[in-house]
Amino acid sequence: MAERAPAWDAAVDGFLAYLAAERGLAAATLEAYQRDLRRLRAWAEPAGLDEPGRLSAGQLRDFLAASAATLAPRSRARLVSTLRSFGRFLAAEGLARGDPAATLQGPRAGRRLPDTLTVSQVERLLATTGGAEPRQLRDRAILEILYGCGLRVSELCGMDLVDLDSREATLRVRGKGSKTRVVPVGQPALAALAVWLDRGRPQLLGRRPNAAVFLNVRGGRLSRISVWNLLQRCAREAGLAGRVSPHTLRHSYATHLLEGGCDLRIVQELLGHADISTTEIYTHVDRSFLWEAYRGAHPRARGPRRA
């Protein structure tokens, strides 16, 4: 049985301990890093590289090339990420003269298409909320706002009373990077909000001051995990278990706008995307509306005209 190289053991163990303690990575993520480093070690030791600090940038590129044939693009991208993190660790701990992975470039992982619901599925989800209890009124308003305004869950939980302009039917939203945008609020969402604010919220608030629109049962600001749990419960009741998160409703909002003919730049503004390329992913969800728009607008899409 071959002897284990103590330098590899010490470096890998120290790296994993650093990831767990300093970066707080989950166990599954740590296991993925460990598998990648086992793969690197299995390639390096037969070549006489019994210390990870002796690895060069060229050797790491050779290792990536040798691994490419057996790994999917996402796995290759993760392997590069592992090597970069490991290289920085080796350099920082003085186990290598420099960072051997600093110049590595991996494949761009394809963006995962967002999960969306059909309009009828959204209606089924909304139908799971009903009743006159404060929590029921709140939950209905939450679903209407998530789908009707395309908010991120953090934006919904951060809503304050002063952000809502019922007369103008608009909502001021504080998004990522403290950027503010104004979005229209549809009539169903406005109606659900009005009922919640009039009949439900005062009962949960009591005498405690709170500027938040949505409250928990103790009168405090509603948390993101509470909204996630609400969506899971409603999804189960609607027969959509495992398919719905707060972001699913945001994706559905954007997709249904585009399918209804809304301009991509307008959707970008409504979602609060800084870059149009982020919004463009929604054009890949259902291309049927793109074909309809092309066929209706371009003279060469409709075939030859009759004389």
Q: Catalytic amino acids? A: 152, 176, 247, 250, 273, 282
Q: How far is 246 from 267, CA to CA, in rounded Å?
A: 18
Residue 157 has a CB neighbour count (10 Å cut-off) of 20
Contacts of 299 (CB under 8 A, 6+ apart): none
Q: What gap in Å lies between CA 58 and CA 103, rounded to an integer? A: 10
85: which residues sit within 8 A by CB, 6+ positions away? 15, 19, 33
Rounded CA gap, 245 and 235, in Å? 9
Q: Is 139 helix (H, G, I), strand (E, B) or coil?
A: helix
Provide the pairing of β-strand 170-174 with 180-184: antiparallel
Name the residue among 41, 106, 43, 37 with its Cα closest to residue 72. Answer: 106
